[in-house]
Amino acid sequence: MQPDALLGALARIFPAARLLTHPGALAPYESDGLTTMRGRPRAVVLAETQQEVVEAVRLCHAAAVPFMARGSGTSLSGGAVPVDDGIVIALNRLDRIVRLDPVRRLAVVEPGVVNLDVTTAAAPHGLYYAPDPSSQSICTIGGNVAFNSGGAHCFRHGMTANHVLGLKVVLPDGTVVELGGSSVEHVGPDLAGLFVGSEGLFGIALEITLRLVPRPETYQTLLAGYASLQGAGDAVSQIVAAGLLPGAMEIMDRLAIDAAEAAVDAGYPSGAAAILLIELEGDADEVAAEFALLMGVIEASGATSTRMAADADDRARIWKGRKCAFSAVGRISPDFIVQDGVVPRTRLGEALACIQELSSSQGIRVANVFHAGDGNLHPLILFDGREPGALERAERLAADILRLCIRLGGSITGEHGVGLEKREFLGEMYSADDMAFMHRLHASIDPKNIANRGKMLGTSSPTGGGYGMHPLERAGVISRV
């Protein structure tokens, strides 16, 4: 099929109201949460069934036109920015919870299901879905799978990859395959784990089998104030060294505290340079014993103040302040870049001190909000895009922070992904042999390089091509559906 014939072929599948081509209709799809990067697609199709997604992918493959799957567009790395003149396959209308099995503790969902809706559906059975990104009230499971999202409670419960048991996937050539299954135990290569975090380069998830977990009997939420950001960071290592495994440990600095307080009145301490938010969970007796140990560690760490959540409403208010921190920063800066680097937990205090030095030396304010338990930093670099050169200066500081993370033995991303934003740093983190292997693997699954082209691995020339048996099928590790 010639590329020029693609729109006509799509029009035979999608009615006019669900095939968007007018510039005004395409505008909302030009960027994701990282609004400094944009692309203009040829068209957007609003899929309502899995088969429509499959047919759209097959047409794109036949025409060698790139496509991108999109959910709510909350990606913060440019991972959901459309390929210029490509096709966006919007998945929000694939929002069915296909099956919820409380006995086996699993849910089978379509990619457009909103993260929080899984927990809402599981709640009557005493279960919930553990990964809880800050955007969980709007982000979709398909996007969570693409970027291996985490959230505040990933320290104890892990990332999306730890909760995806199986996937039904359409590969870039239109082949539909089953990866994994419905059991926590699997035999052979972990292909579901390979797909999670692939940023759309390996195709589109049509159904996702999720692991659900029992809701804890009780929570104990503690706020500790510190006179310095480094002091809060050092306290995290002390908590872990004491043998504690909280459900969550989060840190916010003074700028982030002020923004969150103005937005939701979370009750954060007014005099602290930083706060450490710690949440214990589990059986009541277990939590009581851990809380006594935790308080001893916090007192020894030099905390200037402590406050315990009084009840469930108070706990919800505390967490609302943390989860709205990114958007709340808009109250103190017209623009910001959020980074997503990771450092070893033992070097967290050192990393925070270095970020403060970089901020001061370059004259750019940085608000720090991050998942302290696993060293996942979310520095918010504040700037005013109306000022000439301000964006470029902010991007240079962001690059310095990523290189700091690499130098300290960490990663350029914890959960936001590489997308368009961090491609140039991938080769600084991995060896040439590692990069070559990634490119070979990508080319074996998408030889035409049409699935979310340009993300993560860039736009390297693909090899091979054509229809027929898929390479993974020849290897005996997948079967057609």
Shared domain for 369 and 405, answered yes or no, is yes
- Domain CATH number, residue 54: 3.30.43.10
- Decide if 255 is inside a domain: yes
Domain residues for the domain of 410 are 333-425
Q: How confident is the model at residue 473 (pLDDT cuts 50, 70, 90)?
A: very low
Q: What is the mean pLDDT of residues 46-56?
A: 98
Shared domain for 222 and 315, answered yes or no, is yes
- Domain CATH number, residue 379: 3.30.70.2740
- Domain CATH number, residue 174: 3.30.465.10
Shared domain for 171 and 183, answered yes or no, is yes
Query: In this model, does residue 467 exceed pLDDT 80?
Result: no
- Decide if 364 is inside a domain: yes
- Decide if 7 is inside a domain: yes
- Decide if 339 is inside a domain: yes
Q: How confident is the model at residue 449 (pLDDT cuts 50, 70, 90)?
A: very high
Q: Note the pLDDT tens digit of each residue in 207-227.
A: 999 999 999 999 999 999 999
Q: What is the mean pLDDT of residues 124-134?
A: 96
- Decide if 204 is inside a domain: yes
Shared domain for 230 and 150, answered yes or no, is no
Q: Could you say which of 33, 64, 90 is where a domain stops?
A: 90
Query: In this model, does residue 29 exceed pLDDT 90?
Result: yes
Q: Note the pLDDT tens digit of each residue in 289-343.
A: 999 999 999 999 999 999 999 999 999 999 999 988 888 888 899 999 999 999 9
Shared domain for 225 and 320, answered yes or no, is yes
Query: In this model, does residue 477 exceed pLDDT 60?
Result: no
Q: Note the pLDDT tens digit of each residue in 340-390.
A: 999 998 898 889 889 999 999 999 999 999 898 889 999 999 999 999 999
Q: pTM for the full model?
A: 0.90
Number of domains in the chain: 4
Q: What pLDDT was estimated at residue 1?
A: 75
Q: How confident is the model at residue 481 (pLDDT cuts 50, 70, 90)?
A: very low
Q: How confident is the model at residue 114 (pLDDT cuts 50, 70, 90)?
A: very high
Q: Could you say which of 296, 327, 358 is where a domain stops?
A: 327
Average model confidence (pLDDT) across the chain: 92
Shared domain for 79 and 107, answered yes or no, is no
- Domain CATH number, residue 289: 3.30.70.2190
Query: In this model, does residue 7 exceed pLDDT 90?
Result: yes
Shared domain for 273 and 291, answered yes or no, is yes
How far lies 455's CA from each of 29, 31, 55, 276, 338, in Å?
A: 16, 13, 23, 34, 18
Shared domain for 244 and 141, answered yes or no, is no
Q: Could you say which of 384, 405, 425 is where a domain stops?
A: 425
Q: How confident is the model at residue 475 (pLDDT cuts 50, 70, 90)?
A: very low
